[in-house]
Structure 1
Amino acid sequence: MSYNTHSFILFLISLYSFFSSHYASTSRPTGFSAKVINRNSVQSPLYDPSLTRQDRIKASVLRSVARHNYIDSITSNKFPPINIPVTPADGEYIMEYFIGTPPLSTFALLDTGSSRIWLQCLPCEKCYPQTNVSYFDPSKSSTYKRVQCPLLTCQLYGNEHCSEDNYCQFHVTYADKSVSSGDVAEETVEFRSPKGGNTTVENFVFGCSHINYFGGDVHYSQWGIPGLIGLRREGQSLIEQLGFLNFAYCFGDYDVPEQHGYAMFGDVAAISGPTTPILSISDAANHYFLDIVDISVNGERLKIPPDTFQVHKEYPSGFAIDSGATFTFLKTKAFRLLVGALKMKLMKLKEKEVIDPSYYHFELCYRMNYLDLKFAPVITFHFVNLDLQLPLSNTWIKVDEIQKTPYEGVHCLAMIPSPSISVLGNFQQQNFHIGFDLDNNLISFSLQFCE
């Protein structure tokens, strides 16, 4: 037996020993569910009663733009200019979970665009404020363990290096100079179902971030979300750690913050309704890309050129579904065709069209009442094997303050043109049960009341 062969066998034995010892003592659930809340709910740690409706919408737009730039940066080798915000850890919907022993309540953005899980931790060398949510203090938990080098756990987390005392560290820098860095660690976490019942996971791998700040100029909130839970199919994301082949979520109504939604994982995650394939594109950072064929307005196809949403590995493109972006971004060519078709269908409202730069990035706005909205044209996204018809509440957003009735006022098409990647945002996903069948590479959509 050669020396190289002998070394390789020893490596396999050590690898087997690592997995046996590491996971034998680790409880791994087959599935669980958790409540998802709107950041503007009174239950949310980010709730700010001083914000007006217009403030909240403007903040959602700014977060969406920063999120879109983030997706651009992770799906391509070409990055946006450094003065453009690229924010990974902020969004409209967050999930509560508990970490440590004794357990501390904290919150995270569910992120289909990330393979990592991280949380702001003490001591904070540089962290953003978290309102009334306490920073996680590892020194007060009896189950906290830093991961030693060079364990596979460290390598799987990504962007790792070793400290002088031989513990695993991570450091991530985004295109706008935002930073997240700290210790790769293991901890006991607990997820609590909205219907009762707790699920505890031991030796849960996460990044304990001691340096975490946004470098972009996004002045939309004085507080930040404590952390992030990645749902991508790689690394140490939640679904990869727990070996889940299914997950699902349903986001509550944007305009009813107290209507909470839910997230489901593993064998409790229902895959219901029509399905469309998830594209298998290794060059697209394992994001969830869908094959969109066309868009129609009141049943009339726009006949968008076939290459409009095609994925290219050398620059950001394609059509992705994302849990973090609020509003949908459409490739400029498709967006112009859609706006043109809507204007033709809304000719009777031509005198009510509003062109006002104060309405942020929204380009098509009308002063509408209940009847105008009731008879507004219906938009349908045509994916392979699936037609996603958008309810009017998922299409138009009221951008001014509530007047005589909730329906009267300026309503804008809740979509934004994009020079690069197209993204299906969570405003368009609200009140849809969306299931991810990762075993068969399918996504399902089922319209229902989420709570």
Structure 2
Amino acid sequence: MQLDIDYKYLAAHSFRFLLDPVLQAQVWRLGMKNMQILPAHRQRNQLKKPTWIIIMVSLVSLFLVCAYVYPPHNSAACYVFSSHGCKALQNWLPPSPTRELSDDEIYSRVVIRDILDMPPTISVNPKIAFLFLTPGALPFEKLWDKFFQGNEGRFSVYVHASKDKPLHFSRYFINREIRSNKVDWGKISMVDAERRLLANALKDPENQQFVLLSDSCIPLRSFNYVYNYLMYTNVSFVDCFEDPGPHGSGRYSENMLPEVEKKDFRKGSQWFTMKRQHAVIIMADSLYYSKFRDYCRPGMEKNRNCYSDEHYLPTFFYMLDPSGIANWSVTHVDWSEGKWHPKSYTAQDITLQLMKNITSIIESVHVTSAEKKETQTRPCMWNGNEPSAVVKRLALYIGLNAPQDWLLFSRGRATGKESNEGEANRSKLVFRLIHRDSIPSPVYLHADDIRAPLVPRTGSLFLVNFSIGEPPLPQLLALDTGSSLIWVQSPVYKPETSSTYTKLSCDSNYRCINYYNHSSYCSQEYECTYNINYADESSNKGILALEKFTFMTSSGGIYEIPDQVFGCGLDSRGSVSRLSGVLGLQPLNQYSLVSRVGKRFSYCIGNISDPSYMYNQLILGDGAVFEGNSTPMRIRGGHYAVRLEGITMGDRQLNINQQEFDFNVLIDSGSTLTILHRSVFEQLKEEVMNLLDGVLQPVRLKSAGERPCYWGNLVRDLKGFPLVTLQLAEGTDLDLDVEGMFRRVNDNFFCMAVDVSKDDYNVIGIFVQQYYNIGFDFNAMRVSFQRTECELLED
């Protein structure tokens, strides 16, 4: 078969497509699937000399040569060549010519690369080494003592006192001084002291993270926050930026050649936090260290000053492992006064608002020393992710103007007095919700719960930590607003070891209590038993009993609830067998937990896709956060139910039958997906497919059922996707952005997070609830929704 193609016509229209932005926009606009770029085929005589091919080949060749000579310097430009970024082009083009390394460089880089390529050391008890660099006394030792209390075995302390041996009152600092030498400001002796601290800390193989602090630093967060933040990271926090001015590149000396070139000379804050591998390569380095020792010091030639502590580590890591550092410091230092030393704070300066302002910074800002004072602003990345609530400063350089007795540490912040809520607020019970996929979770699995559900229905994502019995035994139970019973697996909880455990007999005042989602009956032994079945055919049965529950209050005290009814699980089958138990949050009678603490509770969920997000929280009792718009609720089938009056997608109002959604929409923290009646599900599905099928490649995933799935990146490929809004009664709206509307299955594809209902109920799942604080008031029979960042709710 012969193809008769008009090459001139094709070339002309091809160039028109490349040059016409209107035509391009038409093609890539979401929803346009079968648009014809070219008119219908016409019969023309074949050209004997397809000169346009020669022109096109020449242009493409010129384009690639230019890209090779002038490679793109930002990730956005890389997508001109490949959707996979610069790596595809770099792998295809020949490597750019580089200078020949000296023997010393080869020796050094081979050792350093070998260390970096080694798998991280696995420690049974990983610790953080806190390295204090001080002339003598530690004025904030009392504050650090409170910071360390209760966390023995998870940290180490090392003190380098360059002038006077300090007198300590805290047991954590006694006999923790290392051999110390004199330290001169701005000289290599400062780097020597840092290396000396690292060397002593590396002797302990359990030290996995290393934090350099001065005598003027205070913690901004609790120990648990700092510990989890650093142990979950895969980078070191070393500040690093390019300053073309006199206080940056102007300090460079050509005597550092050939190993250190001016284009690689960097600057940054002295205060670092680094992982063990990086600490080891600093110990292994002598080549680059010697360059800064010899040619970076105050009073160099031509009145040039160079300060090793500001340049050695930033330059070293930029040259040898640039992707291994975060390019910002977790210690906040205020240089806004433009002096040679950072700003010092007084006692009056240290307010709660100041602490919140500092801990909410998500950008790294540097002002160059060039004549124009250029401001460089970059997002603070954490494990390669975009800025979010998890990107936080952990310490503050405060100076020496705040008296040590004034600062007391309470719940991860500095305050003017001890936090003491007293008996009036003792029912404010605050729990940190533990993500199911976080490392501390005992049910941590790599499998996605679409294929391997961990709890009833589509999988609870959050666990609650409290203690049961006497002596108190810690438990991690799955949070579930759709359950009315609290139950615990007996292999995890051993009733025979508790002095406060009492089986619930059939003739007790409590009787055998029946709940909506489980049955209770009197056994032959005259004991109240229960049997609970879930929709995924998993089940749990056991004995109803009374036990003491112990909680930590927001002030750090202990709150005990005696004789709490709960289920002692003896036989678990299916998905629930992998749980320690379930914390049901329905106040259906006077014996339920929620009823006993005030018939109010609230929880706040942040970014579900980030298991290390640390501000997910549950509050029981009078301290529950009940803010934002509220809507009436009812109890239906053992669930909290609200009325849905409409759904919009962008500017389009979907057609729904309001009778089907009249107090028939359940708020369920134990359900991952949102579930809607088929008529509405089909409309949403059709809208999604109309928008995405012509742009992204569909994926058929058996476990996803009827939900559409696509190859692509959830954040990058769905920019501009229309907002979906659930319109509840009395003007309360729930907005579903792309993170609520879709769920990332893995790095390669994602699926719609809305499924079709297989019974009479609709469900608002946990993905819709992220970035919301949701308050339940059983006295007023209302539920409130407030879109917020969960850390803003902390006291």
Q: Could you say which TM-score interval applies, normalised by the shorter chain?
A: 0.7 to 0.9
**Structure 2 residue 732 is matched with structure 1 residue 386:** yes
The residue that corresponds to 1:117 in the other structure is 486
Pairing 1:52-71 to 2, within 5 Å after superposition: 55-59=447-451, 62=453, 67=457
From 720, 724, 728, the equivalent of 1:375 is 720
Pairing 1:260-279 to 2, within 5 Å after superposition: 260=614, 261-279=616-634
C-alpha distance in structure 1 between counterparts of 2:533 and 2:711, whole Å? 43
C-alpha distance in structure 2 between counterparts of 1:63 and 1:120, whole Å? 15
The residue that corresponds to 2:170 in the other structure is none
**Structure 2 residue 684 is matched with structure 1 residue 338:** yes
The residue that corresponds to 2:409 in the other structure is none
C-alpha distance in structure 2 between counterparts of 1:371 and 1:181, whole Å? 46
C-alpha distance in structure 2 between counterparts of 1:359 and 1:287, whole Å? 26
| Secondary structure, counterpart of 1:337 in structure 2 | helix
Identity %: 29
| Secondary structure, counterpart of 2:470 in structure 1 | coil
Structure richer in strand, relative to its length: 1
**Structure 2 residue 769 is matched with structure 1 residue 425:** no
C-alpha distance in structure 2 between counterparts of 1:233 and 1:224, whole Å? 26
C-alpha distance in structure 2 between counterparts of 1:164 and 1:411, whole Å? 52
For residues 93-134 of structure 1, the C-alpha deviation after alignment (integer angstroms, 9 at most, x for no partner) is 111111111111111122222221111115xxxxxxxxxxxx
Structure richer in helix, relative to its length: 2
The residue that corresponds to 1:47 in the other structure is 444
C-alpha distance in structure 2 between counterparts of 1:419 and 1:139, whole Å? 42
The residue that corresponds to 1:188 in the other structure is 548
Q: Measure how far apart 1:267 and its partner are.
A: 0.3
C-alpha distance in structure 2 between counterparts of 1:435 and 1:246, whole Å? 8
| Secondary structure, counterpart of 1:67 in structure 2 | coil
The residue that corresponds to 2:78 in the other structure is none
Q: Indicate how the Cα distance of structure 1 residues 202 and 391 shifts in structure 2: closer, same or farther if over 3 A, else same.
A: same
Asked if structure 2 preserves the Cα contact closer than 8 Å seen for 1:121 and 1:137, the reply is yes
**Structure 2 residue 586 is matched with structure 1 residue 232:** yes
Asked if structure 2 preserves the Cα contact closer than 8 Å seen for 1:35 and 1:194, the reply is no
Q: Measure how far apart 1:195 and its partner are.
A: 7.1
C-alpha distance in structure 1 between counterparts of 2:583 and 2:630, whole Å? 25
The residue that corresponds to 2:429 in the other structure is 32
The residue that corresponds to 1:96 in the other structure is 465
Asked if structure 1 preserves the Cα contact closer than 8 Å seen for 2:711 and 2:750, the reply is yes
Which structure would you say has the larger Rg?
A: 2
The residue that corresponds to 1:300 in the other structure is 652
Asked if structure 1 preserves the Cα contact closer than 8 Å seen for 2:644 and 2:728, the reply is yes
The residue that corresponds to 2:749 in the other structure is 410
Q: Which amino acid aligns with 1:446?
A: Q
Q: Indicate how the Cα distance of structure 1 residues 437 and 121 shifts in structure 2: closer, same or farther if over 3 A, else same.
A: same
Asked if structure 1 preserves the Cα contact closer than 8 Å seen for 2:675 and 2:755, the reply is yes
From 667, 670, 691, the equivalent of 1:321 is 667
**Structure 2 residue 698 is matched with structure 1 residue 354:** yes
C-alpha distance in structure 2 between counterparts of 1:377 and 1:174, whole Å? 35
Asked if structure 2 preserves the Cα contact closer than 8 Å seen for 1:295 and 1:302, the reply is yes
For residues 311-335 of structure 1, the C-alpha deviation after alignment (integer angstroms, 9 at most, x for no partner) is 6xxxxxx211101000111111001
For residues 68-90 of structure 1, the C-alpha deviation after alignment (integer angstroms, 9 at most, x for no partner) is 7xxxxxxxxxxxxxxxxxxxxx5
Q: Indicate how the Cα distance of structure 1 residues 234 and 352 shifts in structure 2: closer, same or farther if over 3 A, else same.
A: same
C-alpha distance in structure 2 between counterparts of 1:447 and 1:175, whole Å? 30
Structure with the larger RCO, 1 or 2 (CA within 8 Å, 6+ apart): 1
From 520, 544, 555, the equivalent of 1:160 is 520
| Secondary structure, counterpart of 1:289 in structure 2 | strand
Q: Measure how far apart 1:29 and its partner are.
A: 5.7
Q: Indicate how the Cα distance of structure 1 residues 411 and 121 shifts in structure 2: closer, same or farther if over 3 A, else same.
A: closer
C-alpha distance in structure 2 between counterparts of 1:179 and 1:356, whole Å? 31
C-alpha distance in structure 1 between counterparts of 2:719 and 2:578, whole Å? 37
For residues 294-346 of structure 1, the C-alpha deviation after alignment (integer angstroms, 9 at most, x for no partner) is 110113211223233246xxxxxx211101000111111001111223344x2
Q: Which amino acid aligns with 1:378?
A: L
Q: Measure how far apart 1:353 and its partner are.
A: 3.7
Task: Show structure 2 runs of 5+ residues with no match.
Answer: 1-424
Q: Which amino acid aligns with 1:67?
A: R
Q: Indicate how the Cα distance of structure 1 residues 142 and 417 shifts in structure 2: closer, same or farther if over 3 A, else same.
A: same
Q: Measure how far apart 1:30 and its partner are.
A: 3.1
| Secondary structure, counterpart of 2:717 in structure 1 | helix
C-alpha distance in structure 2 between counterparts of 1:139 and 1:439, whole Å? 37
Q: Indicate how the Cα distance of structure 1 residues 411 and 160 shifts in structure 2: closer, same or farther if over 3 A, else same.
A: closer
Asked if structure 2 preserves the Cα contact closer than 8 Å seen for 1:185 and 1:207, the reply is yes
Q: Indicate how the Cα distance of structure 1 residues 227 and 364 shifts in structure 2: closer, same or farther if over 3 A, else same.
A: same
From 237, 245, 249, the equivalent of 2:599 is 245
Asked if structure 1 preserves the Cα contact closer than 8 Å seen for 2:460 and 2:480, the reply is no
Pairing 1:67-216 to 2, within 5 Å after superposition: 67=457, 91-122=460-491, 135-156=492-513, 159-173=519-533, 178-192=538-552, 196-214=556-574
Q: Which amino acid aligns with 1:91?
A: S
Q: Which amino acid aligns with 1:56?
A: D
Q: Indicate how the Cα distance of structure 1 residues 413 and 43 shifts in structure 2: closer, same or farther if over 3 A, else same.
A: same
C-alpha distance in structure 2 between counterparts of 1:47 and 1:371, whole Å? 28
Q: Measure how far apart 1:41 and its partner are.
A: 0.5
Q: Indicate how the Cα distance of structure 1 residues 205 and 376 shifts in structure 2: closer, same or farther if over 3 A, else same.
A: same
C-alpha distance in structure 2 between counterparts of 1:329 and 1:206, whole Å? 29
C-alpha distance in structure 2 between counterparts of 1:368 and 1:210, whole Å? 45
Q: Which amino acid aligns with 1:331?
A: H
| Secondary structure, counterpart of 2:774 in structure 1 | strand
**Structure 2 residue 777 is matched with structure 1 residue 447:** no
| Secondary structure, counterpart of 1:152 in structure 2 | coil
Asked if structure 2 preserves the Cα contact closer than 8 Å seen for 1:320 and 1:423, the reply is yes
C-alpha distance in structure 1 between counterparts of 2:765 and 2:442, whole Å? 22
Asked if structure 1 preserves the Cα contact closer than 8 Å seen for 2:512 and 2:522, the reply is no
C-alpha distance in structure 2 between counterparts of 1:41 and 1:213, whole Å? 24
Asked if structure 2 preserves the Cα contact closer than 8 Å seen for 1:278 and 1:290, the reply is yes
Q: Measure how far apart 1:185 and its partner are.
A: 1.5
From 631, 642, 649, the equivalent of 1:290 is 642
C-alpha distance in structure 2 between counterparts of 1:279 and 1:149, whole Å? 30
C-alpha distance in structure 2 between counterparts of 1:285 and 1:192, whole Å? 32
From 337, 362, 365, the equivalent of 2:709 is 365
Q: Indicate how the Cα distance of structure 1 residues 175 and 340 shifts in structure 2: closer, same or farther if over 3 A, else same.
A: closer
C-alpha distance in structure 2 between counterparts of 1:194 and 1:374, whole Å? 39
